[in-house]
Structure 1
Amino acid sequence: MKLFLLAALVAIVTAGEHKLKCKTVSVRGKIHKKDVLATGINRPYQLSMYKHEHKIFFSYNVGKNEEDTFEIGYIKKGEKNVTAIKEVFNGFASAVDEENHHVYLGGSKGIYKLNLKNNNETLENIVSGYNIWYMFFYKHLYFIDFPSQNLYVYKKNATKVHYIKDKIYQYVIDKDGDQFITTDKGLYRIKEGSSAGHDRHQYSDIKLFRGAALDNTGHAYFCSNHSIYATNKNNHTLVEIAYVRNVFGITFDNQDNIVYSDPKNIVKLLPGNCD
């Protein structure tokens, strides 16, 4: 009887701990539970998902508290340990070409292309002489240099995108070919085919965004300090879809679940309540 009671108490305590650990957040008014994919990471930024293998690439701080030294790593599905890619010095940005099985990794000494096709991983330095701040892939590789915050496109070389004069912090191209840029004045959309980028709409005057991503349908999303937003092109606004404290970056998995990072964790939001 004592053994039975002890087992029952352990089961109750375990269930209680599970409920305490499991947390939820509302996404578009529907409850989602937080699935912590990895923890104990110092400020994971700039998430990008290689969906073929559910590998999440990101940058994170490996320096001491008084200094920032970044490194690029990734986590695999079902594994919480971070695999570091130390060949990329001061790695800070990543972008995925899903169709060709390429992951681009950027750091203080340029850009590397990681070839993941047929499990034959090779790393090739393709761009030198730039300190990479941010990257995005849509037909071509786009990247932003630091500290100039200029936007470039890589086509066997690096060509500056001349019609965008602003200093840019994040950049994406959505399913319609419209470009979204964040600057120190806010978030803007430049309509596809706009001559010299003049057909521009401001979506938000938020001065600091931390991340940008496309879902699987090609719609653009952004995150600021405490919120994740979707873009609404009907009225040129951002729509807050989730309130989450201290968001550092966002991406989407192959089921269109939101994956985000906070100061120590990488979390996936799954529909439904805690069991």
Structure 2
Amino acid sequence: MEPALLGSVISTLFPSRAEHTPPAMRPHPVASTEAPVPVSEGELGAAILRLRSKNKAPGPDGIPGKAWVVSSVALGERLRRLFSACLEQGKFPMARQVYWWSEDIAELRRAAIAAQRESSNHRRRRRRDTTLDDTLYETYRQAKKALRVAIAKAKVQARKEMLDSLNRDPWGRPYRVARGKLRPWAPPVTETMEPALLGSVISTLFPSRAEHTPPAMRPHPVASTEAPVPVSEGELGAAILRLRSKNKAPASIMAISSSILLILTLFHGLQAEKVVCDGIIFNHVYFDRELLVNNLGRPYNLVMHKFSGLLFFSHTVQNGTHADFLITTCHIDKRTCSNVSGVPGGYAIAYDAGNDDIYLGGHDGIYKYNFLTKSADFFAEEGKSIWGLFVRRNFYYIEYPTQKLRVYQDDEFLPVAEAINIEVDHFFISKHMDIYFSNRTALYKVEKPKKEAIVLSDEVVIRQIVEDSYGDTYFCTSDGIYIEDKPYHRIKKVAHIVQAFGLTFDEHDQIVYSDRNAIYRLKPSKVGPLCYEVLTNPAEREDLERIKDTLIS
């Protein structure tokens, strides 16, 4: 085409406009320079606990999950450093790829893992944006869904390709897959033939030739004159451990790998101090107990002021000839405690998160804690005996002995109309604005926007209702700790504690609870997986003790 004609066509099809501004292109995202977050002890412990099932097949390494659970006592810190180094360097051991694997699926998997870690790390923050939290979780959910869909499509496509290849290559991958499933059901034919017949067949198939010279064979190695290496304790322990399985076939690489891990764990236990499993199993995870305060009389109403590290609680004391209540505050890290003066018969405690204030209740009214003077100042309801306090959007209190619930409205405390004919022992409103209350009859829940009370349980004695930073509601009862089992309108037990009296969470969301005489904090345990197996499986404990005694002797 002539240049003039070409220019005329282009100018006609794409006329230039002086006032037109092309849209700005979206800039390329800048790669993050931040170092990846290392694997924490909690993440490693949770991963190991997911492997503790005895009825699942091992992974590509051939090591069953139970072996990892028991060996994590000795190898846990080394594994954590190894996984953190893999994340930091971006290098991971190559596993055998499945037949449907592709680079696109690998990229989707990396995106899903990155979205999961970003969402989990954001949820662990003490102060977080709930909108961003929901956005990150939705991003992770969509990435996970895309990965599942891609894997399903890849499996269907791979199966179709394998079926199509039957005609093209009958001795290819389909044949090898079928051969891999076959097992010999009888001895070879040559083992059942008569020697004379076998010799005749061989001589016919492979006739001897006079001119043929067979190749020289490799000479046999000269026997060593050195003394053999003695059997080590590790070899003996490995042999013993291979015999402990009663229902599985021996002589496999899986058994050898498991034995090595268990042997390392046992010798680690022999060389280190004696492991004592006297902690608590909370929601299927073993925790060590850290004693915070001792020699108390039934510590009730545990409330944590997270910014100061002060733990407020009420407990019974002897006041002359009768028992009374006293509110005490303790710094859980410094282990210093002091009694709060100015609140006669102090029992009720509440935290106002909106204003960062602590309110206290006693025999003659409501008080406000003064962090400067470390004492209480009178606030309201003079002469009223306060049984319970709660602050969220509104100010509530329970009057004793009528057990009536009151709320602050129009510059005064008025009875709650919905509960005017109901006795209330404990009252709580969650972050999701669900209402919980209990009395001597049962534990109830009122969901928003419904106004009907639902019975969650009528078999427990509630002593405190709290929630963690994630908005999960927990119930401290006389026989342990329960959590709401949504959406079934019931509660399930997550910890067995004899005579539990109070429950709260510290600034790191670690559980703080009280029994009849003391207050404890639950901390992650280095021997958590091992102690969990020992406490939940008596047979496992007997086996480990028997093997340990054998190795020592």
Q: Aligning the two structures, in what range does the TM-score lie when normalised by the shorter sequence? A: 0.7 to 0.9
Distance 2:518 2:460 in 1: 24
Contact 1:60 1:72 in 2 (8 A): yes
Letter in 1 for 2:471: G
Is 1:190 paired with 2:443? no
Deviations 1:140-196 (CA, angstroms, capped at 9, x unpaired):
2221111001111234421211201321111111121110011111101012233xx
Which stretches in structure 2 are left out of the alignment for 5+ residues?
1-272, 529-553
Q: Give the Cα–Cα distance (whole angstroms) in 2 for the partners of residues 68 and 192 of structure 1.
A: 41
- Cα distance change of structure 1 residues 65 and 211 upon mapping to structure 2, 3 Å threshold: farther
C-alpha separation in 1, matches of 2:322 and 2:512: 27
Measured in 1, the distance between the counterparts of 2:340 and 2:373 equals 16
The answer on whether the counterparts of 2:340 and 2:375 sit within 8 Å (CA) in structure 1 is no
Deviations 1:106-132 (A, max 9, x none): 00011001244xx57674312223211
- Which secondary structure does the structure 2 equivalent of 1:163 belong to? helix
1:57 maps to a residue whose letter is F
In the alignment, is residue 145 of structure 1 matched against residue 404 of structure 2?
no
- Structure-1 separation of matches of 2:278 and 2:460: 29
Q: Counterparts of 1:118-157 in structure 2 under 5 Å?
A: 119=372, 123-127=376-380, 128-155=382-409, 156-157=411-412
**What aligned pairs does 1:76-155 form with structure 2 within 5 A after superposition?**
76-116=331-371, 119=372, 123-127=376-380, 128-155=382-409
Number of aligned positions between the proteins: 255
1:274 & 1:247 partners in 2: Cα distance?
Answer: 25
Q: What 5-or-longer segments of structure 1 have no aligned partner? A: 1-14
Q: Which has the higher contact order (CA 8 A, sep 6+)?
A: 1
The match for 2:497 is 244
Superposed displacement of residue 82, structure 1: 2.7
Aligned to 2:431: 175
Higher strand share: 1
Separation (CA, whole Å) in 2 of partners of 1:122 and 1:42:
21
Change (3 A) 1:220 1:65: farther
Q: Do the aligned partners of residues 100 and 38 (structure 1) sit closer, same or farther apart at CA in structure 2, a change above 3 Å counting?
A: same
Q: After TM superposition, give the deviation of residue 23 of structure 1 in Å.
A: 2.5
Tell me if the contact between 2:460 and 2:477 (Cα under 8 Å) persists in the aligned partners.
no
Aligned residue number for residue 121 of structure 2: none
Aligned CA RMSD, in angstroms, stands at 2.4
Correspondence for 1:225: 478
User: Among 305, 327, 330, which residue is 1:72 paired with?
Assistant: 327
Residues 1:74 and 1:122: Cα distance change in structure 2 (over 3 Å): closer
Report the AA paired with residue 298 of structure 2: R
Pick aligned residue for 1:46 from 289, 301, 312: 301
- SS, match of residue 68 in structure 1: strand
Look at both structures and tell me which one has the larger radius of gyration over its CA atoms.
2
Per-residue CA distance 1:212-239 (angstroms, 9 max, x = gap): 1121122221111111011123000111
User: Residues 180 and 189 of structure 1 are in contact (CA less than 8 Å); yes or no, is this contact kept in structure 2?
Assistant: yes
2: distance between equivalents of 1:25 and 1:243? 8
The residue aligned with 1:8 is none
Residue of structure 2 in register with 1:7 after alignment: none
Tell me how far apart the structure 2 counterparts of residues 103 and 192 of structure 1 sit (CA, whole Å): 27
Asked if the contact 1:43–1:262 (Cα under 8 Å) also holds between the matched residues in 2, the reply is yes
Are the counterparts in 2 of residues 190 and 200 from structure 1 also a CA contact under 8 Å? yes
TM-score (norm. length: structure 2): 0.44
